[in-house]
Structure 1
């Protein structure tokens, strides 16, 4: 879950929920397009509306002109009829005129004035609101001779009032009797037409002299020329248009609809973009979650794999082997379990490196598969241990297979131009009892391989009951030893180290001893072996260091301490530095000079974990301690140890000292070792000197220090103090 919180779900922050720039540009473009279309449609509707209003104004103007023409035509007919009536009276009297004009005004109320003119155009009789002015009469008289078609018309304007005078000649038998004129107000007539034919927003206007007078901006003006004989009048309609269209007008509806559409579309597109962002983020989260689930599934599969298989060799591990054995023991009567241990795998790893050791493992697994049957269960249970189990195989077949496997594994392996030989031991466990469990069978195989390891490299051991009894006895000893360590029931003894020339005691080697409950004294070698096998060596080593340095500190306080004290360190605890750290801490705690302390290490210990051992040894040397190789000459890499490690002294193994007086080979070996040590400026200690003859031979070869039963047996602290005191009183050394 920790990784999930850091993933693309947890460790990755979610995106900003803001639209992208191109999305905003797209939304703006769509809105501008809608508004542009709206304005274009608004303009189109406004233009149509304008054209419609113009057509209405033209239609109304046509209607007004048509009505006016009808009125004129009706007036012309009336005037023709009246002139015909008056032609019957050659001499028109006033009484007759008054009666005639009175009837005329009643019949034609739009006629405001009527008059009778003689042949010269002089007014004889007149009626109406007022008489014609002299100017007007003169105008009428001047036009009588120019009229070709009757009736004739005359226009006059007085105080914004336009009047129309209609003239008709009166003849009798082609004899001109005079002229009949009638006048009506064109302005009043048009006002009547305006009230009856036009709407409130339409106004009739007449333009006689200036037809192009400016019209108020925004209004519609339509005009035509109306003829009255030879006279003309510009008659027009002004259509008043409001400065702003009403809210219910089509263009305003289109405008509002366009604004609303642009707003709605922009909101929809914005929400769509947000939705797409959310979907994309959700998709990313789902993808990240899917990836995380796959990773978790892969991790679970990997964990399940490493729980059942060894990751380096891909072989089943101990748990898988346990499951297999449980199932196999339930159905099989005969079952064999073999434990194969590569004894020098750690040395190969230290010598050639991790890469070579891993390739070696791959080659070993291939050789395993080439020998074991296909139905066999092959598992890697520890770093250097493999187990193979075959159902239905007897003990003899298992031993034959183990022999083939040993031969196959110990053949030379070439890896990166390196020649490597793997050594192995094999332990075989067979199912003898139906009640044997899988855990017990594995324990039997491990006991057998443990016994094979004791016998040496290349051993093959089949488990038997005696091994189990030995193992049980080892467990009993382990429990007793653990209890003795915890309760401080062990004791420390010192093996004196003697100067072979002066027989003076120059140093001591600390050794543990233990008296069991039965009163038996158990030697240090057996105690160390039990501790190594049971994992108690670290506890035992720390106890020995504490007790030895405590006793040596006591000797220093008594001013009767030997020059040096030697402490053996276990190989299994040495390479990790824990035991060395404890040694240095103990030296400081008891205030023991580091130059007086010697560290003894087995040769085999130095060949394991080379780099780690080098680091620890150099740390000890820098502190001032002396490094001694124990059992020198018993391994195959003694010279390698002298070359690689900071060694100060070597201790010749007692197996080479034994019978040195009778064995020429042992004598040559000892001579060679001592000479080589002298050349390398190394001191030599001869261990296990048991006779004067051995003492003399080794002293003559150049060995300076010896220890063994010839000089002294192991002794306690007080005995060491007494020897030192005797040396100081210049007494002869015992056995001198």
Structure 2
């Protein structure tokens, strides 16, 4: 006769809960083991084995405590501890298998079988620890079934864990929890099948001696196991979170480093290679050419008159022009060629393949024509040209610096011949390039140290002989070369854009010195200042004029600005807006060098102007050349019909002066009256001459 017993459903539920928790925790430990290495991996393997083994063992032990019988049951401590160690060992084996890089079907079956046998051994060893009045007998079929369940459950668990090893799968909580439920149910099924296999034959009778503290013992073991599993799970989740954050930070740092590396080698505006990457490409081309006794070419490109575009239309438009030019240059070359932007509006192209000079020149023409095609920028149609200088390896240099410098020299030589020119390098260009660099550096220093001075030439009324105004003419008081005339430095100042700060200084100084003459007794003396093209298209021109007037205290009607007609005709609509803004402030405007360029009279009559200045080239031969005389007479008539005063410049003789009087010219200036004088000498000269001290007929004195 066998003794029958019953299960405490609360403890059964607790055992199943522990089994599910142990399965869920094992998945988390498996992911940490596979994602770590070295000593950290061994720590996770050891800790995981203890936590998982304790959880499985607790499930079995609580399951045995849940079975209530009518006789006393005690447990052998040594055998119980042995079963616990077996559970830990089996768990360690399982976690070790799941941490392998790859588990094949055969390996999975062998590992599952060994793990199932280990769990079975742990279970039946735990049963051996029970001390009671009779010996336990087992149903062979149920024992076999329990082992089969253990093997099947272990194999399934190993397979599930292997499929959940990726970070994405581990993060799939529903799938992970469902797998834990299945695995926990399988472990519980194995245990309770094994318990069903046990037979307890009756050897003695008596009343129930079941210790009522067994339930408390089960609960205590369950809570302890659950806490171990919970702590292990929390540590695993925290470590996984930290690992994920670390991986994210590492990924972000890697991406940032890659971006920084890219930015360090590429231009931020056009995304083309910059000077650093260009140097590397040229060095590669040098090594390749030397190994094969070859040659290659370097193009240096500069956008012609880019600064006026930048200053008149704004830097945003200028940037878009450069971006479109970069796209055109990239599309015009092959994949093996390098297009780089090395600063401002300067581009360099390296053609590493060997080509004869005729082919190189043909490529340069194609690139020039490609750039010259009209482009749409912010709704405006713009056309730009580029000057191209070319150097060849090894004829023009064998290093990056030499090849680039010589291509740069060739480009400047091409630019000096006009826009859109192409020039191969020759040795004579180095001298002019060195002079340009020296001139630019001297100009910058001269502007900073105010080495410039203003000379003034009077403008005299032909009707009254009175001085109406004086024209400010800049000179450079060079510390080594002495007084230098404008033609020596003005072209370079315009080319480099230094004419903007220089023109600002001229405007400010002329206004200040005019005020000094007013205070000295010449209150109506007007000062005329020439504007360059870059100054005229400068968006801040009107503001700079007003600033100069405010600083000096000069009245606006005592300032006159001289502008060339060719400058007005470049963009008549923009010129109209600028001139209107200037005239609204009361400043006078004159057209300088009139007759030397192409003018549209339909536009000219609309411009808010005050005076026309006849270029000196027409005055020089006015007495001997009837054509020049006819041109001067026509200009004077035209000016008067447009209600403009006409001034002749370059008058050097009494005969010229008398002829201008007969043509009813309004005023003149030139060496016949006075050469340009520094401020001190001009003051003395003005004392000797009749100075206009009343308002001019065309001036508004209100």
TM range (shorter): 0.5 to 0.7
Matches within 5 A, 1:23-172: none
Q: Quote the offset at 1:618 in angstroms.
A: 9.2
Q: Quote the offset at 1:443 in angstroms.
A: 1.8
Aligned to 1:510: 472
TM score, norm. by length of structure 1: 0.52
Matches within 5 A, 1:327-366: 327-330=284-287, 331-332=289-290, 334-343=295-304, 364=325
Q: Quote the offset at 1:476 in angstroms.
A: 4.9
Q: Quote the offset at 1:396 in angstroms.
A: 4.0
Higher fraction of helix:
2
Q: Quote the offset at 1:439 in angstroms.
A: 1.5
User: Partners in 1 of 2:681 and 2:522 — Cα distance?
Assistant: 11
User: Partners in 1 of 2:313 and 2:440 — Cα distance?
Assistant: 36
Aligned to 1:290: 247
Q: Quote the offset at 1:253 in angstroms.
A: 0.8
Q: Quote the offset at 1:590 in angstroms.
A: 4.4
Aligned to 1:393: 355
Change (3 A) 1:592 1:274: same
Aligned to 2:340: 379
Aligned to 2:82: none
What secondary structure sits across from 2:683 in the alignment? helix
| 1:552 partnered with 2:517 | no
Aligned to 1:452: 414
User: Partners in 1 of 2:422 and 2:230 — Cα distance?
Assistant: 82
Aligned to 2:384: 422
What secondary structure sits across from 1:320 in the alignment? helix
Counterpart contact for 1:574–1:580, Cα < 8 Å: no
User: Partners in 1 of 2:312 and 2:535 — Cα distance?
Assistant: 20
Aligned to 2:278: 321
User: Partners in 1 of 2:527 and 2:249 — Cα distance?
Assistant: 63
Change (3 A) 1:590 1:473: same
Q: Quote the offset at 1:446 in angstroms.
A: 1.8
User: Partners in 2 of 1:666 and 1:413 — Cα distance?
Assistant: 40
Q: Quote the offset at 1:360 in angstroms.
A: 6.1
Contiguous gaps of at least 5 residues in structure 1? 1-33, 50-247, 732-736
Which digits, 9 at most, give the CA deviation of each residue in 1:123-145, with x for residues without a partner? xxxxxxxxxxxxxxxxxxxxxxx
What secondary structure sits across from 2:247 in the alignment? helix
Q: Quote the offset at 1:459 in angstroms.
A: 2.0
User: Partners in 2 of 1:271 and 1:640 — Cα distance?
Assistant: 92
Within the candidate set 599, 603, 627, 1:662 is matched to: 627
Change (3 A) 1:352 1:521: closer
Matches within 5 A, 1:238-317: 250=210, 252-257=212-217, 260=220, 263-264=223-224, 267=227, 271=231, 274-275=234-235, 278-279=238-239, 282-283=240-241, 285-317=242-274
Change (3 A) 1:264 1:444: same
Which digits, 9 at most, give the CA deviation of each residue in 1:291-350, with x for residues without a partner? 443333333323322332335544333322222223333544644322222325566678
Q: Quote the offset at 1:493 in angstroms.
A: 0.7
Counterpart contact for 2:639–2:646, Cα < 8 Å: yes
Change (3 A) 1:411 1:546: closer
Counterpart contact for 1:336–1:428, Cα < 8 Å: yes
Counterpart contact for 1:428–1:462, Cα < 8 Å: yes
Contiguous gaps of at least 5 residues in structure 2? 1-58, 72-207, 694-702
Structure 1 vs Structure 2 CA RMSD: 5.5
User: Partners in 1 of 2:667 and 2:369 — Cα distance?
Assistant: 45
The structure showing larger relative contact order (alpha-carbon pairs under 8 Å, at least 6 residues apart) is 2
Change (3 A) 1:372 1:488: closer
Matches within 5 A, 1:464-475: 464-475=426-437
User: Partners in 1 of 2:495 and 2:312 — Cα distance?
Assistant: 25
| 1:403 partnered with 2:368 | no
Counterpart contact for 2:310–2:318, Cα < 8 Å: yes
Aligned to 1:185: none
User: Partners in 2 of 1:550 and 1:302 — Cα distance?
Assistant: 53
User: Partners in 1 of 2:375 and 2:548 — Cα distance?
Assistant: 46
What secondary structure sits across from 1:393 in the alignment? coil
User: Partners in 2 of 1:639 and 1:266 — Cα distance?
Assistant: 100
Counterpart contact for 1:351–1:610, Cα < 8 Å: no
Change (3 A) 1:583 1:394: same
Aligned to 1:443: 405
User: Partners in 2 of 1:416 and 1:485 — Cα distance?
Assistant: 35
Q: Look at both structures and tell me which one has the larger radius of gyration over its CA atoms.
A: 1
Q: Is 686-695 or 715-724 further displaced after alignment?
A: 686-695
Which digits, 9 at most, give the CA deviation of each residue in 1:59-97, with x for residues without a partner? xxxxxxxxxxxxxxxxxxxxxxxxxxxxxxxxxxxxxxx
User: Partners in 1 of 2:275 and 2:682 — Cα distance?
Assistant: 53
Q: How many residues align?
A: 487
User: Partners in 2 of 1:360 and 1:487 — Cα distance?
Assistant: 35
Change (3 A) 1:514 1:408: closer
Counterpart contact for 1:600–1:629, Cα < 8 Å: yes
Q: Quote the offset at 1:461 in angstroms.
A: 2.4
Change (3 A) 1:416 1:590: closer
Q: Quote the offset at 1:453 in angstroms.
A: 2.0
TM score, norm. by length of structure 2: 0.54
User: Partners in 1 of 2:283 and 2:482 — Cα distance?
Assistant: 43
Aligned to 1:498: 460
